[in-house]
Amino acid sequence: MTARDELPVKGSKTRTQAGYIGKAEPRANAKRLLQGRGSFIDDLRFPRLAQVVFLRSPHAHAKIRKLDFSKARTAPGVIAVVDGRAVAEYCTPWVGVLSHLKGLKSAPQFPIAIDRACWQGEAVAAVVAETRAQAEDACELIVAEYDPLPAVIDMHEALAGRHVIHPDLGDNICFNREVDFGAVEAAFAKADVVVEESYSFGRHTGVCLEGRAILADYNAAEHTLTVHHATQAPHMMQDIFSKHLNIPEANVRVICRDIGGAYGIKVHVYPDEMCTAALSIMLRRPVKFVADRMESFLSDIHAREHKVKVRLAATKAGEILAFDLDDLTAIGPYSVYPRTSGIEGNQVVNLTGGPYKHQNYRAKLNVVFTNKNVTCQYRAVGHPIAVALTEGIVDLAAQKLGMDPAEFRRRNLVPDDAYPYTGAAGMKFELLSHHQCLDKLLALMDYKALRAEQAELRKKGVYRGIGLAAMIEVTNPSPAFYGVGGARISAQDGATLRLEPTGMLTVLSSVTEQGQGTEGIFAQIAATAVGVTMDKVKVITGDTSTTPYGGGTWASRGAGIGGEAVLQAGKALRSNILDIAAAILSVDKATLDVYNNEIIDAASGASRLPLAELGRVAYFRPDTLPMKFQSELMVTRHYTPREYGFTFTNGIQASLVEIHPDTGFVKLLKHWCVEDCGTVINPMLVDEQIRGGVVQGIGGALFEECHYSEDGQLLNASMADYLVPMSGEMPDIVCGHVESPTKSSELGAKGVGEAGTAGAPGAVMNAINDALAPLNARVNSMPFTPERILDALGAANAKG
Amino acid sequence: MKSPAFAYAKPRTLDEACGLLEAHGEESRIIAGGQSLVAMLNLRLAAPGLLVDINAIEGLGGISVQGDRLVIGALVRHREIEQSGMVAENCPLLAQAAPHIAHVAIRNSGTIGGSIALADPAAEWPACCLALDATFRLVSKKGERRVAARDFFKGLFATALRPAELVAAIEIPLLPNHRSVFLELARRRGDYAIVGLAALARPEGGRLHDVRLAYLGGGDAPILARHAMQAAEGKPPAADLSAELARDLSPLADLENRAATKLHLANVLARRALAALAA
Ligand SMILES: Cc1cc2nc3c(=O)[nH]c(=O)nc-3n(C[C@H](O)[C@H](O)[C@H](O)COP(=O)(O)OP(=O)(O)OC[C@H]3O[C@@H](n4cnc5c(N)ncnc54)[C@H](O)[C@@H]3O)c2cc1C
């Protein structure tokens, strides 16, 4: 392939070469991880490293009457045993609010509870020892006495407010919001068909292979704090450590090593992690905390737990007129800092009904405090709820109208030529492709044949169901997400590219890698933009003292925002390289190009100068260059999406299931997902993101739930009792893509990391209900356990 | 979490092992495959002073046919049973049940003796042993005794094992004319079952004889469903044994299943198993 043969980037009218973009390149770090050469925080060895473990409240809500550390302090290996007051001397409290979520309130939270514990699992004391085992032994020697307080566990009780968790706040309502667009009442009044259903979504959590981990190393001589942290947002954490531990920002360095999964779990401020950093300062030595599995269940953020009532109005002809929504969600005793726990409910309000062209929309949201573990943003934040309830009620309407669910969707999805388009909930869409995606999906799954097979099998007593779920997804958020609300979270990301003397390319990015392959796609973009081969590129991420400043990895933003910064830096570097080449070769820059690690003649493709030779001259023999010429082989560029609040993506999923009516078991037979993430940078990674996301979505639909007792005890804080989805039960997942690149960037990439999780629960729910339909049963409480399905069938039997 | 500290001994002989158990009494704990015990240690649910590792003891392994019995040593791993031609030929029920126990990595370490001694009511081997009318060889400093499986399981994690006694082998009568079926309902492959059934019978002209139905997950111990067995005896496969099973079983509710749901599922399994035995 010569330079002229190279394709343009799939964005419109760009001059960049396609190169590796769109290719299924294997990622460089996969081999290292497979060979066991990953470097996770627990692999680090430091002199004088101490380990901290936490005594956690056994009560959901209790006054801490007494903490006696005398025995624990004298146990072997113990360095310190501290309570909340001692740690508060080193770390100021925080309040998880954002000003653009009007009225959102929360109470001050400390690294370790002072006087009162508000959930089972909240840390009430910390033990630092030479080894983790010694610290655990000593922890058992702490004498802790509590006076239990009334625990608010049920979200309706929380709303009613008989017991107020934080009396200073007046009630248990963290946040509420009401929107009313168009003429909802009138739409319902004139509708031919009104359907209404309530859905409940179980509380679950994102189970990371690697538990939360932090190693804080305070250097008193320099007054510097180096934090090795399994976080998705190193610069955000740098700011937070600086602010709450009172160390100048420049003296705080946050380093992310390999991270074993994050899914949003590792983008929040956790009290035990803040405590670890504070202890490092207090004790003037490195201190490490790694959450064990039980602690992870008790203290990693949980998510979901919504109870929603939704209504839909439609005409006989199958036109959706309006959605009306009432969502109640419980978030635990604190809104999590700094992103707040109001976002998930807010997203449900923003996204419900999103794929459709109705003009009337009303929604009511209440976010309440309870005495359970906190909830916050976890992969696909709010989307699984909004998609499932939208698609559930859409299916119910289609059923009532006697219309095929695919056809009903076709009539109501926003047309592909309607963009830019503003949805009924006020969301602005630049360019979506609902109809292309629907068509592609139906073809991919052979929808007609499946429906025919389903009908045949029903005659034989085999109950198969087909479920569809269309979706929109928030990606590449602008500062409208957090920055405008006062959070010091960057919506911008940066990339620095440096051509090394040997012609190698070093890429430094502010986006982090936690197993999803970000570094791999950045290498592809950089190699493409500069004109080198992949093997020449080395990507460095996750170090606040070396990378550009940026937001990190969350909200499906890494590729779209960080990738664009890499592309722009690459183009600038390429131009600088050509300046040097023109100087060395004494030709016009416009006649040259960079391709395959060489300077070539752009017209003929003939090789002129290897980059290694250019590097040698630029770095070691600049004396041979023209007198006034200074080469610049290191370039930094930044990118912030600003035209739209979010770069929305869209897609549609389908699930095929078989129900066993005598056992209530659901067998997942197959799953399909067609989505549009704009430019596909690496189809293999995109498909794996989709598949992994679908599996997480299926987890929420069928398996995962944090079970709490009436007094607020988490009953299944182990991998034996908390059911994560496993490969044995997962269906084949077929992926398809439509590419509508965003014009807001040259790369054209939208996000994809959360799409699978967003749509899968709704698709599975609809498939189950489709299978149950001939038995006159329906389910609407996730997860759909066999017992819940049996109950629905039992209820149906009783009725019929 | 990390296990509390413990001492560790790896005796070479049965005699030595029994001596250690006798000397250290309650403080000591046998470790075989470690697949249940290590989790209990790390969760600090058990804190023995001494672990007596029986893996180096000769004579506790091996599968053989001795006369009219199949004899399986206590240290035989789940996976060995799963892959043994001798087991498949002489006691297909065990071969049918083995793949339902956990996952391959766990089956590579976990032992049948450990599973019998632990007596988890949802475990596969105890129910199979009840259905097969197996006998356990138990050994202690005082010598050897033989206890029938049907007298061995006493309740939740409770057995007839005496202090300082270990399970040495499992003896299973050969039943060449019986047919067997193993069924269980688990949310995910490898999980402990919600409810499971080890079933045996001698089919003859569409009727079932010497019907044996042993449930896992049917109560606080593995349970031989005697009323259901009686109702099915000598008849073509029954469609509904729910009344009998309600007398035989007393399932414990779990986080996702009420007792009544488990009873319902037990009846579904009985129907499926009897039909399969007669087919
Ligand atoms: C993820 C997971 C899933 C599992 N799923 C299942 C499942 O579906 N079904 C199932 O049946 N099991 C399951 N298990 C348990 C597994 O089968 C264990 O191997 C078994 O229960 C115990 O055997 P062990 O050799 O590992 O015993 P150990 O863990 O070493 O010991 C268990 C107990 O038995 C005692 N003990 C061991 N050997 C003897 C002996 N010879 N005499 C007297 N006492 C002895 C020990 O002192 C200890 O109290 C699972 C385990 C895991 C980790």
- All domains in chain B, ordered by first residue: 7-53 (3.30.43.10), 63-173 (3.30.465.10), 180-278 (3.30.390.50)
Task: State how far residue A787 is from chain B, nearest Cα, in angstroms.
Answer: 6
CA distance linking residue A539 with residue A508, whole number of Å = 6
Using the Cβ of B267 and the Cβ atoms of chain A, whether some distance falls under 8 Å is answered with no
The answer for residues whose C-beta is within 8 angstroms of residue A637's C-beta and 6 or more apart is: A494, A495, A565, A568, A569, A572
Q: What does pTM read for this prediction?
A: 0.96
Q: Does the pLDDT at position A434 exceed 60?
A: yes
Asked if A663's CB is within 8 angstroms of B268's CB, the reply is yes
- Using a CB-CB cut-off of 8 Å, the residues of chain B touching A75 are none
Using the Cβ of A704 and the Cβ atoms of chain B, whether some distance falls under 8 Å is answered with no
Using the Cβ of A716 and the Cβ atoms of chain B, whether some distance falls under 8 Å is answered with yes
Q: Is the CB of B110 under 6 A from ligand 1?
A: yes
Exposure of B88 by Cβ count < 10 A (0-12 exposed, 13-18 middle, 19+ buried)? middle
Ligand 1 center to B76 CA (angstroms): 12
Lowest mean pLDDT among A34-48, A384-398, A674-688, A784-798: A784-798
Ligand 1 center to A665 CA (angstroms): 28
Q: Is the CB of B113 under 6 A from ligand 1?
A: yes
- Using a CB-CB cut-off of 8 Å, the residues of chain A touching B187 are 703, 723, 785-786
Mean per-residue pLDDT over chain A, rounded: 95
Asked if B44's CB is within 8 angstroms of A136's CB, the reply is yes
The CB-based long-range contact list for A324-327 (8 Å cut-off, 24+ gap) reads A324/A184, A324/A188, A324/A361, A324/A362, A324/A363, A325/A349, A325/A352, A325/A361, A325/A362, A325/A363, A325/A364, A325/A389, A326/A363, A326/A364, A327/A363, A327/A364, A327/A365, A327/A366, A327/A385
pLDDT value, residue A799 = 45
Ligand 1 center to B277 CA (angstroms): 30
Rounded to 10 deg, the angle between the A434-445 and A447-459 helix axes is 50
The first and second tokens of residue A554, run together, are 């969350």
- Across the interface, of B4, B185, B258, the residue whose CB is closest to A665 is B185
Tens digits of residue pLDDT in A628-687: 999 999 999 999 999 999 999 999 999 999 999 999 999 999 999 999 999 999 999 999
By residue count, chain A amounts to: 800
- Using a CB-CB cut-off of 8 Å, the residues of chain A touching B240 are none
CA distance linking residue A662 with residue A793, whole number of Å = 9
Using the Cβ of A147 and the Cβ atoms of chain B, whether some distance falls under 8 Å is answered with no
pLDDT value, residue B1 = 79
Query: Does residue B149 sit in helix, strand or coil?
Result: helix
Mean pLDDT within A212-238: 98
Using the Cβ of B66 and the Cβ atoms of chain A, whether some distance falls under 8 Å is answered with no
- Across the interface, of B2, B5, B261, the residue whose CB is closest to A790 is B261
Asked if A728's CB is within 8 angstroms of B187's CB, the reply is no
Task: State how far residue A461 is from chain B, nearest Cα, in angstroms.
Answer: 16
CA distance linking residue A233 with residue A774, whole number of Å = 49
Residue with tokens 């939270």: A109
Ligand 1 center to B45 CA (angstroms): 15
- Using a CB-CB cut-off of 8 Å, the residues of chain B touching A786 are 185, 187, 194, 256-257, 261, 265
pLDDT value, residue A30 = 85
Instruction: Please name the residue of chain A whose CA is at the shortest distance from the CA of residue B188.
Output: A729
Question: What's the complex ipTM?
Answer: 0.96
Closest protein CA for atom 43 of ligand 1: B166
- Across the interface, of A663, A728, A790, the residue whose CB is closest to B188 is A728
A-B CB pairs within 8 A amount to 56
Asked if B258's CB is within 8 angstroms of A707's CB, the reply is no
Q: Does the pLDDT at position A796 exceed 80?
A: no
Tens digits of residue pLDDT in B98-133: 999 999 999 999 999 999 999 999 999 999 999 999
Ligand 1 center to B73 CA (angstroms): 15
Q: Does the pLDDT at position A150 exceed 60?
A: yes
The first and second tokens of residue A385, run together, are 């709820």
Question: What does DSSP assign to residue B193?
Answer: P
Task: State how far residue B46 is from chain A, nearest Cα, in angstroms.
Answer: 14
Mean pLDDT within A51-69: 98
Instruction: Please name the residue of chain A whose CA is at the shortest distance from the CA of residue B264.
Output: A663
Determine contact, residues B215/B222, Cβ cutoff 8 Å: yes
Q: Does the pLDDT at position A3 exceed 50?
A: no
Neighbours of A649 (CB within 10 A): 30
Q: Which residues of chain B have pLDDT under 70?
A: none
pLDDT value, residue A15 = 40
Instruction: Please name the residue of chain A whose CA is at the shortest distance from the CA of residue B47.
Output: A137
Task: State how far residue B139 is from chain A, nearest Cα, in angstroms.
Answer: 32
Q: What backbone phi and psi angles, to 5 degrees, belong to A693? A: -65, -40
CA distance linking residue B8 with residue B25, whole number of Å = 14
pLDDT value, residue A11 = 36
pLDDT value, residue A795 = 65
Asked if A716's CB is within 8 angstroms of B188's CB, the reply is no
Using the Cβ of B45 and the Cβ atoms of chain A, whether some distance falls under 8 Å is answered with no
pLDDT value, residue A4 = 33
- Using a CB-CB cut-off of 8 Å, the residues of chain A touching B120 are none
- Using a CB-CB cut-off of 8 Å, the residues of chain A touching B191 are 723
What domains, with CATH codes, occur in chain A? 3-38+492-639 (3.30.365.10), 41-149+207-299 (3.90.1170.50), 302-479+643-799 (3.30.365.10)
Mean pLDDT within A554-561: 94
Using the Cβ of A713 and the Cβ atoms of chain B, whether some distance falls under 8 Å is answered with no
Mean pLDDT within A130-159: 97
Q: Does the pLDDT at position A756 exceed 90?
A: yes
Determine contact, residues B163/B29, Cβ cutoff 8 Å: no
Mean pLDDT within A185-213: 97
Return the H-helix or E-strand segment holding B65: strand B63-66
Tens digits of residue pLDDT in A278-291: 999 999 999 999 99
Using the Cβ of B108 and the Cβ atoms of chain A, whether some distance falls under 8 Å is answered with no
CA distance linking residue A762 with residue A391, whole number of Å = 6
pLDDT value, residue A798 = 53
Ligand 1 center to B116 CA (angstroms): 8
Q: Which of B29, B30, B60, B136 to mutate to test the pocket of ligand 1 (most atoms within 8 A of CB)?
A: B30
Tens digits of residue pLDDT in B137-149: 999 999 999 999 9
